[in-house]
Amino acid sequence: ASRTDPEYIYEILKATIDAGATTVNIPDTVGYATPDEFGDLIEGVFKNVPNIDRAVVSVHCHNDLGLAVANSLEAIKRGARQVEGTINGIGERAGNASLEEIVMAIKTRQDFYNLTTSVDSTQIYKTSRMVSELTGFPVQPNKAIVGSNAFRHSSGLHQDGVIKSPLTFEIMDPRSIGMPASSLVLGKTSGRHGFRERLAELGYTLPEEDFDRAFAAFKELADKKREMTDKDIESLVAEEQRTVSEAYHLDRIQVSCGDRGIPTAAVRLVGPEGQILADAALGTGPVDAVYKAINRLVGVPNELTEFSVKSITEGIDAIGEVQIRIESDGITYTGRGADTDVIVASAKAYMNALNRLLAARKATE
């Protein structure tokens, strides 16, 4: 719409509403408009479409010039009452208007917009993390509202002000987006009650069976780390929630590598009938050796098309998350794995993808 003759837009909208439409959408599909231009377009719609009072004006803005949120908010100022956006601003190309930024702008500046939304803002933080986990797209640290640095202060003056009065340097209460603020410090001596309480604060309510598995994984990880962070816990829950039916289970791996030897991996799996399977392989690196050993055991032809690793938490004992994509018969399967050992995380991710592949084949038999 931002590159279309306004008179033609008015004509189309009138005909659409006459045909029974109760919501009409005006998109900036390629993210070309500036706030003033887009606002003028919306204002023109209200002035020149005679039956516009019979429909809700909606907008859909893309972020190619980094103006999707600004354009959406300007449209709201000029009369739009529905906004299409996405959590974390995900979307094709440069993404869509960030839903959480629009919601919190309206909530924080009600004095300016004189409007409210029906969105429960306390679900924003949890939803943002869930979307990030499911899509594999990390939230940039300086992302407005939901970034890990959004409520962090490094300046001594700012820190002193926040301690004395948070509103001095924080225009929003972190709790208003559901960001937990707890004095609970979890570690290897923490029990089930403390772990369950922290899960609840983070917005997770797990069935008892899932909780038992998550707690067992928590205790195992806590033995390796001095202190467990919220990101550690979220990673554990995400690991449990993305578990697929396992035809093959990773039992253990042993890797030997260095700058003067050939990387070697020994892998042991538990097969579909509970049988123990073991093999070893050489590779160009430790991960390559592990994957070759797994392939010899599972025997499912596939091609590794993508491999990425990121640190979920901070510090030398941080959890690393590996995401991979494999292709078989023209179909792509995604796998993820997390561990304080990146080689183990890589093996978990590969097994996760292979089990998805095998489950898909079984479903079509």
Report the topology of domain 249-364. Answer: Double Stranded RNA Binding Domain (3.30.160)
pLDDT at residue 162 tops 50: no
The counts of H helices and E strands in the chain are 12, 9
Residue pair 53/116 in contact by the 8 Å Cβ criterion: no
Q: What is the pLDDT of residue 71?
A: 97
Question: For 238-261, what is each residue's pLDDT tens digit?
Answer: 766 666 678 899 999 999 988 888
pLDDT at residue 134 tops 50: yes
Question: For 26-67, what is each residue's pLDDT tens digit?
Answer: 999 999 999 999 999 999 999 999 999 999 999 999 999 999
What is the rounded average pLDDT of the residues 113-140?
Answer: 87
Q: What is the pLDDT of residue 48?
A: 96
Which ranges of the chain would DSSP assign to H, the alpha helix?
A: 6-18, 35-48, 68-77, 99-108, 110-113, 124-135, 156-164, 192-201, 208-222, 230-241, 286-298, 342-364
CATH of the domain spanning 6-135, picked from 1.10.150.120, 3.40.50.300, 3.20.20.70, 2.30.30.110: 3.20.20.70
pTM for the model: 0.63
- Average per-residue pLDDT in the chain? 86
What is the rounded average pLDDT of the residues 184-205?
Answer: 75
Nearest residue to 197 via CA among 208, 209, 186, 212: 186
Q: Helix, strand or coil for residue 83? A: strand
Name the strand (E) or helix (H) holding 92: none
Domain ranges of the chain: 6-135, 180-240, 249-364
From residue 285, alpha-carbon distances to 3, 8, 165 in Å are 52, 61, 52
Sign of the CA dihedral with 69 first, then 72, 77, and 78 last: positive
Question: For 297-346, what is each residue's pLDDT tens digit?
Answer: 999 999 999 999 988 766 677 788 898 999 998 888 888 888 889 999 99
Nearest residue to 248 via CA among 365, 321, 357: 357
Report the greatest alpha carbon distance in the chain. 79
Nearest residue to 294 via CA among 244, 257, 346, 336: 346
By DSSP bridging, strand 23-28 and strand 320-328 are unpaired
